[in-house]
């Protein structure tokens, strides 16, 4: 079964500081969240969204609305 990130082809361009890009590159070298800066960024963003759901920073109606297939 495909993960949520594999089901869509929507793309989002994110502008980051050079310092942040450097941190992403360092994490990619370590392989802790992926092997490229892009993979690390995707992993950290997805982790942050899961945390926002778990901590209920997003209410349940908002989460359900996003999870419904169109």
Q: Which residue ranges make up each domain of the chain?
A: 16-67
Which of the four pLDDT bands, split at 50, 70 and 90, describes residue 65? confident
pLDDT 10s digits, 37-50: 999 999 999 999 99
Q: Please give the backbone phi and psi of residue 29, each rounded to the nearest 5 degrees, phi first.
A: -60, -35
pTM exceeding the 0.75 threshold for the entire prediction: no
Q: Return the closest-CA partner of residue 16 out of 40, 51, 50.
A: 40
Mean pLDDT, rounded, of the chain: 87
pLDDT 10s digits, 5-26: 556 667 889 999 999 999 999 9
Helices (H) and strands (E) in the chain, counts: 4, 0
d(CA 33, CA 61): 30
């Amino acid at each position: 079964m495909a993960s949520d990130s594999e089901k869509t082809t929507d793309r989002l361009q994110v502008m980051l500081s050079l310092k942040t890009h450097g941190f992403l590159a360092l994490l990619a070298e370590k392989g802790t969240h992926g092997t490229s800066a892009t993979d690390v960024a995707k992993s950290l963003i997805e982790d942050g969204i899961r945390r926002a759901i778990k901590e209920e920073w997003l209410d349940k109606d908002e989460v359900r609305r996003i999870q419904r297939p169109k």
